[in-house]
């Protein structure tokens, strides 16, 4: 039945972050299974990094002129199209329009952050409209926040052909430079871990201030295609205040790169402390620095053991094939 349907993977995107990469992984695997996904952008933001990524990967996509065009496009379809939304805006608009027009809709909830200001309202509307969809949550904490039953399906990544070497002292942060991701906590590590080289990959509203304060100890790379960078990284630090299940953690571990993270969101399930990575109480920068210094001084065998455990974690529980099969089961229940 699904093979005859076009599957709209709806998202409002400009830059390339975890949700955007998740959607590309999903689209490629659906195509490999003989299905017909189309990545549908809710608004036309012009030439963006995400559009460039879709073009580079040869993935099918459609750009709506604006939110009204997006909603009208859903309502006009009469051929059994399945809508799968990602993110606040696509989710809220897509669920309401699909409900009014009798369409099947699946929504993946990626974030557990209540946010501040307007984001608080979007978060509330996002959860309030969950009842109009068949819901997927990427972690148990996110599922528990939803007022409607959901299926927990973690994020997923393909396994790379080769892992990182882990022979250096390259400590990395990968993500948006905004308060909820805690990039300043990462920068503070640099002063506490003198043997490390600290590299920050990402862009956002805090970049100017952070680069002014910390550029003597931290290298700021801006937005980067991480597939070209993982080979140079030895340890990933995640200093977020809130998380679902960040894709960068899965990608790093798939490459054999251990993750040291504040214990937030789905990371507490992903990371087995001292086995495949490390967990630190949120906000405890000095405790994280102690672990980073331990890693910097660890011998080759210690690094290899933790690296192999990280890769096994991904191959056994977070591979693309297994998780997409779970998503297909949700699709079948929704149609």
17 within domain boundaries = yes
Mean pLDDT for 64-90 is 93
Higher pLDDT, 93 or 18: 93
* Contacting residues for 168 by C-beta, under 8 A, at least 6 apart: 197, 232, 234
pLDDT (tens digit, 9 = 90+) per residue, 93-133?
999 999 999 888 999 999 877 777 777 888 899 999 999 99
- Of 94-98, 213-217, 223-227, 273-277, the range with the lowest mean pLDDT is 223-227
Confidence band for 1, pLDDT divided at 50, 70 and 90: low
Encode 88-109: b = buried (16+ Cβ within 10 Å), e = exposed.
bbbbbbbbbbbeeeebbbbbbb
Q: Are residues 313 and 323 in the same domain?
A: no
Cβ(244)–Cβ(181) below 8 Å: no
* Contacting residues for 131 by C-beta, under 8 A, at least 6 apart: 147, 148
Residue 319 has pLDDT above 90, yes or no: no
Q: Are residues 53 and 133 in the same domain?
A: yes
162 within domain boundaries = no
Higher pLDDT, 267 or 4: 267
* Contacting residues for 167 by C-beta, under 8 A, at least 6 apart: 234, 300
pTM of the model: 0.85
Q: Are residues 191 and 308 in the same domain?
A: yes
Q: Looking at the 3D structure of the chain, how many domains does it have?
A: 2
CA pair distance 266, 174, nearest whole angstrom = 17
Q: Are residues 253 and 126 in the same domain?
A: no
Mean pLDDT for 280-292 is 98
Q: Which two tokens stand for residue 135?
A: 């819901």
Q: Which of 232, 190, 240, 230 is nearest to 210 (CA)?
A: 190
pLDDT (tens digit, 9 = 90+) per residue, 33-57?
999 999 999 999 999 999 999 999 9
Q: Return the CATH number at 114.
A: 3.40.50.2000
The percent of residues above 70 in pLDDT, for the chain, comes to 99
Please name the residue that has the structure tokens 């640099």.
Answer: 190
Q: Are residues 213 and 106 in the same domain?
A: no
6: containing domain: 2-156+319-334
Confidence band for 223, pLDDT divided at 50, 70 and 90: confident
Mean pLDDT for 177-188 is 96
Q: Are residues 291 and 196 in the same domain?
A: yes
Q: Are residues 313 and 209 in the same domain?
A: yes
Q: Are residues 148 and 262 in the same domain?
A: no
DSSP secondary structure letter of residue 231: G
CA pair distance 95, 125, nearest whole angstrom = 11
Mean pLDDT for 203-223 is 95
Q: In the prediction, which pLDDT does 2 show?
A: 65
pLDDT (tens digit, 9 = 90+) per residue, 125-165?
999 999 999 999 999 989 999 998 999 999 999 989 888 99
* Contacting residues for 308 by C-beta, under 8 A, at least 6 apart: 256
């Amino acid at each position: 039945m699904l093979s005859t349907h076009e599957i709209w993977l709806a998202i409002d995107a400009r830059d390339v972050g975890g949700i955007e990469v998740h959607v590309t992984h999903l689209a490629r695997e659906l195509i490999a299974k003989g299905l017909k996904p189309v990545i549908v952008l809710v608004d036309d933001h012009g030439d963006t990094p995400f559009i460039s990524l879709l073009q580079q990967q040869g993935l099918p996509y459609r750009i709506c002129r604006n939110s009204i065009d997006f909603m009208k496009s859903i309502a006009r379809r009469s051929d059994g199209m399945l809508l799968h939304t990602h993110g606040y805006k696509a989710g809220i608009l897509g669920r309401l329009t699909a409900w009014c027009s009798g369409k099947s809709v699946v929504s993946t909830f990626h974030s557990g952050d209540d946010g501040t200001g307007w984001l608080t309202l979007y978060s509330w509307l996002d959860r309030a409209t969950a009842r109009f969809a068949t819901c997927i949550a990427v972690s148990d904490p996110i599922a528990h926040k939803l007022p409607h039953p959901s299926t927990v399906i973690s994020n997923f990544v393909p396994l790379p052909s080769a892992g990182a070497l882990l022979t250096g002292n390259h400590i990395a942060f990968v993500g948006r430079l905004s308060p909820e991701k805690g990039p300043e906590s990462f920068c503070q590590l640099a002063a506490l871990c003198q043997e490390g080289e600290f590299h920050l990959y990402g862009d956002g509203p805090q970049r100017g201030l952070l680069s002014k304060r910390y550029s003597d100890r931290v290298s700021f790379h801006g937005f980067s295609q991480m597939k070209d960078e993982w080979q140079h990284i030895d340890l990933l630090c995640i200093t977020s205040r809130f998380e679902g299940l960040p894709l960068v953690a899965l990608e790093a571990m798939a490459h054999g790169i251990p993750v040291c993270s504040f214990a937030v969101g789905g990371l507490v399930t992903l990371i087995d402390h001292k086995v495949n990575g490390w967990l630190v109480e949120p906000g405890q920068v000095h405790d994280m620095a102690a672990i980073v210094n331990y890693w910097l001084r660890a011998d080759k065998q210690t690094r290899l053991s933790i690296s192999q455990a990280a890769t096994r974690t991904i191959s056994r529980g977070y591979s693309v094939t297994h998780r997409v099969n779970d998503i297909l089961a949700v699709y079948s229940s929704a149609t």
